Amino acid sequence: MRENIFKNLKKSDPWFFLFSALLSIFGLVVLYSLGIAQKDLSLFKKQLIFFLIGIFLAIFLSLLDFRAVKESSFFVFFLYLFSILILVGLFFLGSTIRGVRAWYVFGGFTFQPVEIVKIVYILLFAKYFSQRHIELYHKEHIILSAIYAFLPAGLVFLQPDFGSAAILIMIWLGMMLIAGIKRKHLLIMIAIGIVTLLIGWNFILSPYQKERITTFLQPYLNPQGTYLDPSGSGYHILQSIIAVGSGGIFGKGFNAPYTQAKLGFLPENHTDFIFATTCEMFGFVGIFVLFLLFLLIFWRLLKIAFVSKDNFSKLVIGGFMILVGGGAFVNIAMNVGLLPITGVPLPFLSYGGSSIISLFMGVGIVESIKINNS
C-alpha cells in the first residue's frame, strides 16, 4: 500500500504543486504583514489552517483516479444536485455579509458554497462535453448544457454575487470552446447573453450593483476623466489605484506601517483588494514574481494537458485554467479600474478558506490526472 502511494506520487507533477503552494505562501506573507500592523494575527492563523487543509486534500485527491468520474454519471449528477441544494439552502440558512447572502457561518468560520460549485462545474462539463464532443454541433446539447450552467449561476446571481456568477458562466463557455463549439452557436449565445444582461440591469440587479458599474464607467464618460463621487461610490477603486501606484519598483516594504492598506484607507485589503495591497507592499518586483508564478502554473497545466490521453482529462485541466486565469484577470482588472468591482478573489492569495481549499482540491484532481496518464 505504502509502496503504491510513493509510486503514484513519483508520477505527479511536483512543480505544479510547488508553484500553487508558493502563490498561497505569498498570500500568507501579505496577511502576516497586515496582521502585525493591526496587532491581530487571527486572519493569518485561519488562512494558514485553510492552506494546510488544502495541501492535505490535494495530496489525498491526487491518489484517487479521477478518470473514473467520466464513467460515473450518477456520481457527477449527485455532485451537481448537491451543489444546487447548498446554494438554495443559503436563502434559508445563509448569513448576509456585506450585502451578499453567500455564506454559511459555523462558529468563527464561514463556508462559501460557490467555491466548491466551481470545481463541480469543471467535473460536470468535462464529463458532458467529453462524451458529446463529436455531437456538439447539435443545438440540443448546447441548450441542455446551458440549463445545467444557468441554474446554479442564477442562484448565485440572486444572492446577489455577480462576480462569482460570471466566473461560473466563464467556465461553461470556456470549456465549450475547448470542446469545439461552432462559431455560429457561439455568436447566438453571446447575443442571448447581451439580452440577459439588459434584462438583469432593468429587473434583477440591486441598486448597489448598478452603482458599481456606473462608478466604473465614470472616468470614461465624465469629460474630466475622474470619479464623480471620490469619497463615496468611487472610494474603493480610487484607494486601490493609489495603493497600486504608490508601491513603485520595490514597494514600501513588509514592515512599512504607513500604507493605504495598513492605515485602513484601502477596504477589503485582505480579500478583494489583496492585489493592490501586494503592489503597495512589494512594488513592481513583487508583482513580477506574482505574475511569474501564475505563468509557471499555466505552463505546467499545459504540459499536463499535452500528455493527457483522453478528452475528459484535457477538459478538466482546461476548466481549471479558466477558473484560475479568469479569476486572476477579473480581480487584477478590478483592482486597477479596468473592470467594475465584483468581489472575485485573487486565486490562491485572497483570504478565504472556501476559496483556497477548493483551489487545492482542483490541484489534487489535476495531479490525479497526471499520475494516471503517466
At residue 216, the pLDDT reads 63
Amino acid at 316: V
Contacts of 33 (CB under 8 A, 6+ apart): 254, 255, 262, 281
Mean pLDDT lowest among 234-238, 247-251, 288-292, 333-337: 234-238
Burial class (CB in 10 A: 0-12, 13-18, 19+), 242: middle
Give residue 257's pLDDT band: very low, low, confident or very high (50, 70, 90): confident
Domain count, the chain: 1
Count of CB atoms within 10 A of residue 259's CB? 22
Query: Phi and psi of 73, rounded to 5°?
Result: -65, -40
What is the span of the domain harbouring residue 157? 2-372
Averaged over 105-125, what is the pLDDT?
A: 90
This prediction has a pTM of: 0.91
Give residue 227's pLDDT band: very low, low, confident or very high (50, 70, 90): low
Q: Are 70 and 310 in contact (CB under 8 A)?
A: yes
Most confident of 133-137, 256-260, 274-278: 274-278
Whole-number Å distance between alpha carbons of 272 and 340: 12
Residue 3 above 90 pLDDT?
Answer: no
Whole-number Å distance between alpha carbons of 168 and 322: 10
